[in-house]
A = this chain, B = another copy of it.
Amino acid sequence: MTGILPKGVIAPNLTPFRDDLSVDMARYVAHANSLLADGCVGLAPFGTTGEALSVGMAERKAALQALVDGGVDPKCLIPGTGLTNLPDTVELTRHALELGCAAVMTLPAFYFKGVSDDGLYAYFARLIEDVDHPNLKIYLYHIPQVSGVGLPVDLVRRLHQDFPDQIIGIKDSSGDWQNTAALLGIDGLIVYPGSELPLIEAMALGAPGCISATANLNAAAIARSVDLIASGRDDEAKAHHDDVRKFRQIVQGYAPIPAQKRLLALAGEQADWANVRPPLLPMSEEAGQELARELSDAGLGSGN
């Protein structure tokens, strides 16, 4: 159990809801399997894109169990487990490890804002102590523009140095390339940018790929970018990745979670794919058709 996945793209898979807003487990499992079939090397269930924080504890455990029962190899899973409190984060983390997941992806406690680095350090130190599991491998999850609580580079370095066997990596969804580059300078730390946009630059500095929301729609193309970059076919990689970046930039112009769900709804003619849980609201069918047209006008498909 090393917590390390092969080079490639990891999808923070979307969580589909039925019209009554319960988790559609069958679709959840089918979507996960299709992402893996499309070339994802792993999945990060219950990240921001998976509306993790809109899903209850029991639902999250049941959904993870459903993935494994549905044939997904737990060794390719890095589920999100971070909540605002230690006991429940410990519970989700232990559950993931007991299922055999490769690692977990964990937010800092994010209710209190402006807390000290020492306080966040104490939070993760205590998490490791309380989880108390030989297979614990943590990817920190840095998404300050959503969570409201970031993990400064110096704190990440300190956590990785003091807990090298547990704090093995980070997903940097800040969208701030300088921050990603600084993290890639931390010796031995595995750094996934939270987007495919800086994939070429990040892999040049040692990133094994990316964990990107857009993989829910564009997995095969992003996977091909990683392969081309990894095999040193630079010109081909750049040309191909231009389209991959364009796809991301267009989708990013909309509220990304409702937009991706709406595109999947339109692509499969399954209207309930568009459901999101409050406080998010679904994208209208009209707006989705406009987005699909924008992608098509740019010569890009709108969903796998």
Number of copies: 2
In the complex, which of the residues B88, B108, B120, B146 contacts A111, with contact meaning CB atoms closer than 8 Å?
B146
Q: Chain B residues near A280 (CB, 8 Å)?
A: 112, 115, 119
Q: How many residues of A sit at the interface, in one of the four size bands? A: 35 or more
A54 touches B86 (CB 8 A): yes
A179 at the B interface (CB under 8 A): no
* Residues of chain B contacted by A279 (CB below 8 angstroms): 108-109, 112, 115-116, 119-120, 122-123, 149
Please measure, in the bound complex, the distance between the C-alpha atom of A66 and the C-alpha atom of B279, giving whole angstroms: 32
Query: Is there a chain B Cβ closer than 8 Å to A246's Cβ?
Result: no
Contact of A85 among B54, B118, B281 (CB under 8 A): B54
Within 8 A of B (CB), among A50-95: 53-59, 83-88, 91
CB-nearest residue of chain B to A121: B278
Within 8 A of B (CB), among A102-155: 108-113, 115-116, 118-120, 122-123, 125-126, 145-149
Q: Is the CB of A111 within 8 A of B147?
A: yes
> Is A26 engaged at the interface, CB distance under 8 Å to the other chain?
no
Q: Which residues of B contact A109 (CB under 8 A)?
A: 53-54, 278-279
CB-defined contacts of A18 to chain B, threshold 8 Å: none
Q: Contact flags (1/0) for A258-281 with B, using CB distance below 8 Å?
A: 000000000000000000011111
